Every structure is written in C-alpha cells, then in structure tokens.
C-alpha cells in the first residue's frame, strides 16, 4: 500500500457512524491495487449532524467520491447537487462522486439486490415479487425492482414507524413506474401474506427478522406459502442462512442469501467511482466466501 500512494493518489471514503467494522476499505483498496487505479479508500466516522462539515471537507480536499452508510444516507442526499433516479425517489444515497466540486448521489443497494438475483439466474423483469419490509434496504429493493420492470410488487410491513414509509414508497412507484402494480399490506395478516407469496415468482425478506437476536424467527410462518418455482431471498447476511432460507430450501425453493447483495452493491459503486469493473470473482473469493 505505502508504495502505491503518491502525491497524485485520489482519495475516496466511507462516511457513517460507526464505520470501524466495515469491509469496504479492504475490498476497494484491494480492487484499486489489482486494477492499477491510483486511488486510496478510508473510512471516516461522521455523525449525522456533521454531514454539512463533511461536505465542505469533500469539496475543499477534492475527495473523489465514496460511500455512505447509516445514519448519514438521508442527510447526504439532501446535500447533493444531483441525484440518480433511484436516489431521488428514495431520498437517500449510499454512493457519491465529486466532479470538480459538483456532487452526484446514487443508491446502489437495490441494484445490488437485482444483480444478485441475476447472478443466481433470476430476472426481475415481468415478475411479481412480495417484499417484507419498509426500511432502507426494503425501499431500495422495491424502487429498483419497479425501475427494472417488475410487473407487480406486494409490500408487507408491521404497523410500526416504517408503515407510513411503505405507503409513500408505493405512491412514488405508482407515479414513477405506472406499469408496475404495487400494494401495501399489514404483515400481521399472515393469511394474506401466504396468498400473496403463493401468486409471486420471488419473495424477499428485507426486515431485520432472521438477524440476531431474531435469528430463531422468520417473517413467513405458514410454510404452505413456499410453492414450486418460488425464489426466496433474504437481505440478512449474518447468519448466511436464515431460518427463512433454511425452511424455503427444505420446501424445494431456490434460495438466495444477502451476502451477494452486499457484494453487488459494492460492485455497482465501484463502477460509478472508477468507470471500471471490479474484479468480481477475486473479490468474491477473498471477501465473500
């Protein structure tokens, strides 16, 4: 690394809090080195109220771009000069570039989900998907699926603080993607969840259920929902195989875990930052196996 960094090296960064656990610096620096790109990537702990100062620093220090994690995604979106279509609809960014002081924000979580499906031979175009969740990951997935031509999206959420956000997401999708039918339901109505999954091609859990301390739980309690031909996916990546995926797999469904989504959202961000393709197979073997 020290031999690589010169007075010309461009700096990219991760902004969020906490960031110390992030695997992004290792993955991006490895990829820059492999491809001979003169960039370095570091993580900065930036609290939400520090975002305006961070934006000033990005412009002053000519930081080339970077990524954004919780809790800064919404404040960063508000500070951008321009937003990608998905970032504008969602109102959050996880990737940005600095083009001579002009900042453009993107959100690649949804692209990561859709490309992870593709990596497993599944195309969202023309499909019906049922998604549980209304938070950051769920919203990005719902919007990207609509932008990429999903026929129908059924959204389920418990009646917590995220429920209104699911209604707003559905409205935004109806406005931006009129060809996609979207409906919102209460996750407590398990009979309706079963019915919607039974008429879906793809099911996605984009809630925190399945992750510790809820790793002994699944959003799908009636296993008759798992019909032949259904693809069952989870955004939770720790554990790699959630209770949902285990039960769906036992019922004969194709299952797709959240680790790939994590990798593919990074691949999409890398392309935005560098214009180049990340060495996916090497990155997968080194950081995601």
Closest distance between ligand NAD and the C-beta of residue 281, in Å?
A: 19
- C-alpha 109/C-alpha 18 separation (Å) is 19
Closest distance between ligand NAD and the C-beta of residue 215, in Å?
A: 10
Closest distance between ligand NAD and the C-beta of residue 1, in Å?
A: 26
Closest distance between ligand NAD and the C-beta of residue 235, in Å?
A: 4
Nearer to ligand NAD, 84 or 108 (CB): 108
| Pairing between β-strand 65-68 and β-strand 95-99 as defined by DSSP bridges | antiparallel
- C-alpha 201/C-alpha 207 separation (Å) is 19
Using Cβ positions, the residue closest to ligand NAD within the complex turns out to be 135
Gap between the terminal Cα atoms of the chain: 24
Q: What angle do CA 143, 147, 150 make, to 5 degrees?
A: 90
Nearer to ligand NAD, 105 or 258 (CB): 258
Closest distance between ligand NAD and the C-beta of residue 263, in Å?
A: 8
Any residues with CB less than 8 A from the CB of 24 and at least 6 apart, and which? 14, 41, 43, 67, 266
- C-alpha 213/C-alpha 234 separation (Å) is 16
- C-alpha 93/C-alpha 109 separation (Å) is 9
Residues that bind ligand NAD (CB under 6 A): 109, 112, 133-138, 157-158, 160, 162, 187, 206-209, 211, 219, 235-237, 258, 261-262, 265
- C-alpha 97/C-alpha 101 separation (Å) is 9
Closest distance between ligand NAD and the C-beta of residue 116, in Å?
A: 8
> Distances from the Cα of 257 to the Cαs of 32, 224, 226, in angstroms?
27, 21, 16
Burial of residue 212 (CB within 10 Å: 0-12, 13-18, 19+) is exposed
Nearer to ligand NAD, 239 or 249 (CB): 239
Nearer to ligand NAD, 57 or 237 (CB): 237
How far from the centroid of its chain's Cα atoms is residue 163's Cα?
19
Any residues with CB less than 8 A from the CB of 176 and at least 6 apart, and which? 85, 89, 143, 146, 147
Give yes or no: 243 in active site.
Answer: no
Nearer to ligand NAD, 180 or 244 (CB): 244
Tracing tokens 């083009």 back to the chain, one arrives at 99
Nearer to ligand NAD, 12 or 187 (CB): 187
Tracing tokens 């680790």 back to the chain, one arrives at 259
The catalytic residue positions are: 73
């Amino acid at each position: 690394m020290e031999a690589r960094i010169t007075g010309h090296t461009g700096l990219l960064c991760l902004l969020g809090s906490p960031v110390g656990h992030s695997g992004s610096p290792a993955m991006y620096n490895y990829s820059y080195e492999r491809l001979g790109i003169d960039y370095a990537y570091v993580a900065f702990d930036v609290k939400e109220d520090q975002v305006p100062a961070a934006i000033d620093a990005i412009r002053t220090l000519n930081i080339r771009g970077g990524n954004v994690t919780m809790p800064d995604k919404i404040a960063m979106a508000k500070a951008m000069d321009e937003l990608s279509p998905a970032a504008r609809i969602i109102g959050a960014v996880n990737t940005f570039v600095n083009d001579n002081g002009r900042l453009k924000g993107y959100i690649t979580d949804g692209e990561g989900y859709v490309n992870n499906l593709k990596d497993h031979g599944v195309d969202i175009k023309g499909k019906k998907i049922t998604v549980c969740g209304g938070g950051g990951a769920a919203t990005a997935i719902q919007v990207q699926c609509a932008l990429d031509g999903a026929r129908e999206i059924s959204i389920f959420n418990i009646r917590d603080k995220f429920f209104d956000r699911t209604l707003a997401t559905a409205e935004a999708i109806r406005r931006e993607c009129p060809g996609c039918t979207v409906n919102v339901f209460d996750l407590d109505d398990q009979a309706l969840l079963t019915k919607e999954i039974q008429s879906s091609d793809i099911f996605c859990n984009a809630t925190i259920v399945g992750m510790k301390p809820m790793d002994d739980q699944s959003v799908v309690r009636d296993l008759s929902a798992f019909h032949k031909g259904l693809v069952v996916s989870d955004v939770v990546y720790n554990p790699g195989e959630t209770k949902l995926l285990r039960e769906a797999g036992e019922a004969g469904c194709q299952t797709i875990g959240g680790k790939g989504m994590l990798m593919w959202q990074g691949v999409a961000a890398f392309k935005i930052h560098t214009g180049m393709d990340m060495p996916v197979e090497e990155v997968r073997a080194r950081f995601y196996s």
